[in-house]
Chains A and B, each alone.
Chain A
Amino acid sequence: MKPKVAFFDFTSCEGCQLDALNLDGEEVIALISAVDIVNFREVKTKREDNYDIAFIEGSISRESEIPRLQKIRSQAKVLIALGACACIGGINCLKNHLPMEEALRIVYGKDAKYYDTIPARPINAVVPVDYYVRGCPPVTAELLKVVKALLLGKKPDIPNYPVCVECKMAGNICVFERGMTCLGPVARAGCSAICVTSGRRCWGCRGLVDDPNIDSEKDILKKYGLTVEQVVEKFKIYNTYAEVTK
């Protein structure tokens, strides 16, 4: 029996699911010969409520999403958080800096009464999560690696060291040398430092490493004449949830 796989989305841009389809013909054929995709609303009409592995994209930002997620958790043998919104709350949590009534009033004005919203949170704030496929968006190769590991009954090997390690390997000039702040020293790797390689900085979309060396980041900031506030502004973009709960 092929394992049954389902994809579900909550509050998100659906980019993670879209990137999951960024495969070659051969990869798709290999994938569907190994698993049965039984529930994937974005690309598939028939839906089955009997599945083994559930991928969850998006964060939780409405009351009504909580029971829906709990129901998925009770059905799935393995639950995987897919992407930054699901893994760490991500960009949706930026709204948590405002009181919800205020956020509603700003967007919908006098019609605010129609809408339901709660502070955004990652999936593991509501149900236990078995695996994390991080990133905004995740790297398709890593997603495939996790699926393969699951099929083989192994634990996927996901990096727990800072982006700086991969950035050095990519041969990039350090972002701090270019006079900008960067979260590379404390952010979790696995992305090959794609943002810095593409001429930008690291925003920490995969969350922080388990034991971030905050003092070292502060030393770097000091060395380059940058302030903690400047880096916190960047940190908030993905990691507001971690910041508020710590």
Chain B
Amino acid sequence: MKQVNINVHQVTRIEGHGNIVLNAKDGKIEELRWEIPESPRFFEAMLRGRYYDDVPYITSRICGICSIAHSTASIQATEAAFGIQLSEQTLLLRKLLFDAELIESHILHPLFLVAPDFLGVDSVFSLVETHKDIVVMALRLKKLGYNLAELLAGRKTHPLSCVVGGFAKLPDLGELEAIRKRLEDALVDLDTVVALFKTLSIPDFTRETEYIALKDPKEYAFISGEIASSDAGITPLDKYLEVTNEFCVPHSTAKYTKNKRDSYMVGALARFNLNHDQLLPRAKKAAGELGLRAPCHNPFMITVVQVAEAVHAVEDSLNLIDQILSKGVKEENNRVKVRAGRGVGAVEAPRGILFHDYTYDKNGILTNANCIIPTNQNHNNIQKDMEALVPLILSRPEDEIRQTLEMLVRAYDPCISCSTHLLKVSFK
């Protein structure tokens, strides 16, 4: 008569609030839920009647960790609505800014939030005593991402200079050159991170699911391309609702999604499974060393892909800086001509595909908004993973079951503040 009663109120080392409930008796699961009790924030009420210029400023506040992803999706939705074409300079700067956030986020999650599980401590603060060099290096890399964003957008959390149509302030080329040196050094630091992750014993669990991510024939997509699914092929951005199919569940303030199966996955592993061929050379090599081979169906490997993507983001930043330095930067006319219309913007936030969909009136005032957040799209997949995983580990000690389930949730790098900041609206 073995009873398992697990109730993790607010899983730690994740962004936002999520609970795990598991009750089992004699090897039979009676209750198993991934719950989202996060306080909803009603961004639609915040956006209603706002002038386009304030819209990305407000939506960046959906999430403190991926504010650049939200700003970028928001800006691109507005640009699509107004029919704005971007200059090459803006595109290069925007991609570089996106890489900056990716570097910061993909260091924060694997090293600060996940690594403590594998190193047997409760937080990065305890690691200062046992693994001081790693902590100092992680902070150095995190700060590099921060400083790169600062150079391009004034700051990383809630960026400023990136605006609809371009950049309100251009970076100093001397400073770009200086940070280029730090990015080169970062490649060496990342070798250490790869070496560390090679030694960790990642739980062995697989469950095949549908993978969804942006796909662009030209590059490993983050801010361009169309919606790709491992089950259903390509869908254009403006048909994103056909892929996401949101629905409400009583135990969650976040909405859930599904497409071809019971659930689908977005994020680093989905990107890797769909776009692995397009990783830059050093990142591809890192992925190989880390034992990644597409298709990979182990959700615990999401964090490992993030490490390879961090390498990719640094390589990509170096390439972009070289292009920017060789072309120089010049003041451009970013004057925006507003018009009535609807536009969809999609980016690969660190945690997966993110959609912003806006409708504006002829004066550039927002009348309708919808946002679909990566973590929202993963909640259902987390639940299905738990349902497949628990029977395999139910005979283990309760503490071990709890920790394995927490690690599963953490692997997804959930960003729950985001996921309850829904924007499904139609203003009457």
B142 and A195 form a contact (CB under 8 A)? no
B64 and A15 form a contact (CB under 8 A)? yes
B122 and A45 form a contact (CB under 8 A)? yes
Instruction: Give which listed residue, A22, A45, A200, contacts B12 with CB less than 8 A.
Output: A45
B39 and A14 form a contact (CB under 8 A)? no
A198 and B139 form a contact (CB under 8 A)? no
B417 and A12 form a contact (CB under 8 A)? yes
Measured between alpha carbons, how far is A124 from B200 in the docked complex, in Å?
46
CB contacts under 8 Å to A, within B27-71, are 39-42, 44-46, 48, 51, 54, 57-58, 61-65, 67
CB contacts under 8 Å to B, within A1-49, are 10-19, 21-25, 28-29, 32, 37, 40-47
CB neighbours (8 Å) of A62 from chain B are: 39
A106 and B44 form a contact (CB under 8 A)? yes
Q: Does A239 contact B (CB under 8 A)?
A: no
- Given A91-B61, A106-B425, A107-B424: A115 and B128 interface contact (C-beta under 8 Å): no
CB neighbours (8 Å) of B155 from chain A are: 137, 194, 198
CB neighbours (8 Å) of A220 from chain B are: none
Q: Does B140 contact A (CB under 8 A)?
A: yes
B125 and A32 form a contact (CB under 8 A)? yes
A199 and B169 form a contact (CB under 8 A)? yes
CB neighbours (8 Å) of A94 from chain B are: 45-46, 58
Nearest chain A CB to B250's CB is how many angstroms away? 6
Measured between alpha carbons, how far is A139 from B27 in the docked complex, in Å?
52
| B12, B58, B161: residue with the most chain A Cβ atoms closer than 10 Å | B12
CB neighbours (8 Å) of B154 from chain A are: 194-195, 197-200
Q: B304-325, CB under 8 A of A: which get 1 and which 0?
A: 0000000000000000000000
Residue of B nearest to A60 (CB): B39
- Given A16-B64, A25-B140, A44-B123: A137 and B158 interface contact (C-beta under 8 Å): yes
CB neighbours (8 Å) of A24 from chain B are: 139-140, 143
CB neighbours (8 Å) of A15 from chain B are: 61, 63-65, 67, 157-158
Measured between alpha carbons, how far is A195 from B65 in the docked complex, in Å?
19
Nearest chain B CB to A171's CB is how many angstroms away? 13
- Given A91-B58, A137-B157: A44 and B125 interface contact (C-beta under 8 Å): yes
Residue of A nearest to B51 (CB): A233
Residue of B nearest to A32 (CB): B125
A47 and B12 form a contact (CB under 8 A)? yes
Q: Does A145 contact B (CB under 8 A)?
A: no
Among A95-103, A152-160, A182-190, A208-216, the one that faces the other chain is A95-103
A103 and B42 form a contact (CB under 8 A)? yes
CB neighbours (8 Å) of A47 from chain B are: 12
Q: Does B287 contact A (CB under 8 A)?
A: no
CB neighbours (8 Å) of A65 from chain B are: 39
CB neighbours (8 Å) of B135 from chain A are: 25, 28
CB contacts under 8 Å to B, within A77-107, are 91-92, 94-95, 97-98, 103, 106-107
Q: Does B153 contact A (CB under 8 A)?
A: yes
B136 and A25 form a contact (CB under 8 A)? yes
CB neighbours (8 Å) of B230 from chain A are: none
- Given A15-B67, A25-B136, A42-B15: A200 and B168 interface contact (C-beta under 8 Å): yes
Q: Does A237 contact B (CB under 8 A)?
A: yes
A interface residues, Cβ below 8 angstroms from B: 10-19, 21-25, 28-29, 32, 37, 40-47, 58, 61-62, 65, 91-92, 94-95, 97-98, 103, 106-109, 111, 114-115, 117, 136-137, 194-195, 197-200, 203, 233-234, 237
Q: List 29 A-B contacts (CB under 8 A).
A: A12-B64, A14-B16, A14-B63, A15-B63, A18-B108, A21-B108, A24-B140, A25-B140, A40-B123, A41-B13, A42-B14, A43-B112, A43-B125, A45-B12, A46-B123, A47-B12, A62-B39, A92-B46, A95-B41, A103-B42, A106-B427, A111-B248, A115-B40, A136-B61, A137-B155, A198-B154, A199-B160, A233-B51, A234-B54
B interface residues, Cβ below 8 angstroms from A: 10, 12-16, 39-42, 44-46, 48, 51, 54, 57-58, 61-65, 67, 108, 112-113, 116, 122-125, 128, 132, 135-136, 139-140, 142-143, 146, 153-158, 160-161, 163, 167-169, 248, 250, 253, 417, 422-427
